[in-house]
Structure formats: structure tokens, C-alpha cells
Amino acid sequence: EAFDEYHEVSEILFPKFIRRLDLLGVVDFDGLLLKPLELFQTHPEVQKKYQDKIRYMMVDEFQDTNEIQMKLIDKIIQGHRNLAVVGDDDQSIYGWRGAQVANILNFPKVYAPCEVIRLERNYRSKSSILTVANEVISKNRHRHGKVLKAEGYKDEGERPEVFLLETEDDEAEFVYREIEHFKTQGYHPKDMAVLYRSNSQGGMIESV
């Protein structure tokens, strides 16, 4: 049922890839999840062994868990259900690769009774930054309610500014001009930082 060139090539290569893994006796990342599930399903005694061995489980970055990971977690905690998770539904950004934010949103119901502890004190940002973040994310109707509060700062900090730029070239040029501007104001390059989400953005800025 391949519908484009990528899927056609995948259909040819995937069986070869699986045979190669079997030949080498190794697994890929997905296999690290699928093989234990397969083992537990075919050998319940092995599942029972690990249920008895792992009496308590903690899962970090829980907002990024997918369906297969949840199945594996459930297999291990069956019986005692001693599960603690740490995560932030507002930071769920990996839906495009299978992460299901519903895992953390529905956790209080699925694993009731459980205690939900909201960590709202923020030690990284001043209140001027958090005010913008809280206002933006509050528009999301599907989230656990929380308001981040600045901790450890005496002043609010400078108000952040937002600039809308048409292209990545415009963005790189803008960053360059801002750096040059602050240098003329007496700031040293070591006092500045450029933060970006993906590596590809860095290349554009470095080339200016």
C-alpha cells in the first residue's frame, strides 16, 4: 500500500533491516520496547519475575511517552501499581513522533487514587518572562491548570520583546544586527547568548 517513493523504498529495505538485526543479535530503539512486551506476553513467568523485582517505578518526561511505552509500564506495575511520574503537559512537543499527551492528562483518572503535586515555583526565569509564558499557555484548554511563579529573584526583570520575521535569512540578519547593537552599547560578546530550538537554525546564524 505504499503511496510515495519514501514508503516504496521502506517496503523494500525494512525486511532486510530486520533480517540484519536478527543476524547480529541486536535490536534498534523500537526493539528495546517491543521485545520486552513480546517476552512478557509469551512468558508470563518472566513478567511476574520483573513485577516482583521492580516494586516501585518512576518515569521522567512523562508527557513524551507513547502507546508502546505505556503498555510496557503497565505490564511491569500490574499487581502493585506503585508508579510515580514526572512531567509537564505544557512541554509536550513530540506528538509528531508518537508521544501522547493524553497519558499525562488522564493519569489522575487512570491511576486513581493518586496524588498530584504541582511544581509551580520556577528558579530559571524572572516574573516578566513567566508572565508571558503563563498567558500564552493558558489559551490551551487541554492541560492541567498551573501558574508558574518566579522564585529567588528580587526584581521582575526587563519585559521581553517579540519580533516577527518573514524568513530564516531575515531572522539570522536580525540576530546579527542585535548583537552589533549591544556591542556598541558596551556589552561584551561573552555577555550575550543566542538560544534556538534546532541545530539547523544555528548554521544560518553562524553564516551571517
Burial classification of residue 65, based on how many CB atoms lie within 10 Å of its CB (0-12 exposed, 13-18 middle, 19 or more buried): buried
Q: What is the pLDDT of residue 79?
A: 84
Alpha-carbon Rg for the chain, nearest whole angstrom, is: 24
Mean pLDDT of 21-40: 94
Question: Which three-class secondary structure state does DSSP give residue 175?
Answer: helix
Task: List, for residues 74-126, the tens digit of each pLDDT value.
Answer: 999 998 999 999 999 999 989 988 999 999 999 999 999 999 999 999 999 99
Rounded Cα distance between 104 and 110, Å, is 10
First-to-last alpha carbon distance for the chain, in angstroms, is: 45
Rounded Cα distance between 94 and 196, Å, is 17
Name the residue with higher pLDDT: 2 or 202.
202
Scanning the chain, the segments in alpha helix (DSSP H) are 5-24, 29-42, 44-53, 67-77, 102-105, 107-110, 127-137, 168-184, 199-207
Residue 178 scores a pLDDT above 80 = yes
Residue 176 scores a pLDDT above 90 = yes
Q: How confident is the model at residue 1 (pLDDT cuts 50, 70, 90)?
A: low
Q: What is the pLDDT of residue 26?
A: 95
Q: How confident is the model at residue 184 (pLDDT cuts 50, 70, 90)?
A: very high
Q: What is the pLDDT of residue 2?
A: 54
Q: What is the pLDDT of residue 157?
A: 87
Name the residue with higher pLDDT: 116 or 3.
116
Mean pLDDT of 22-43: 94
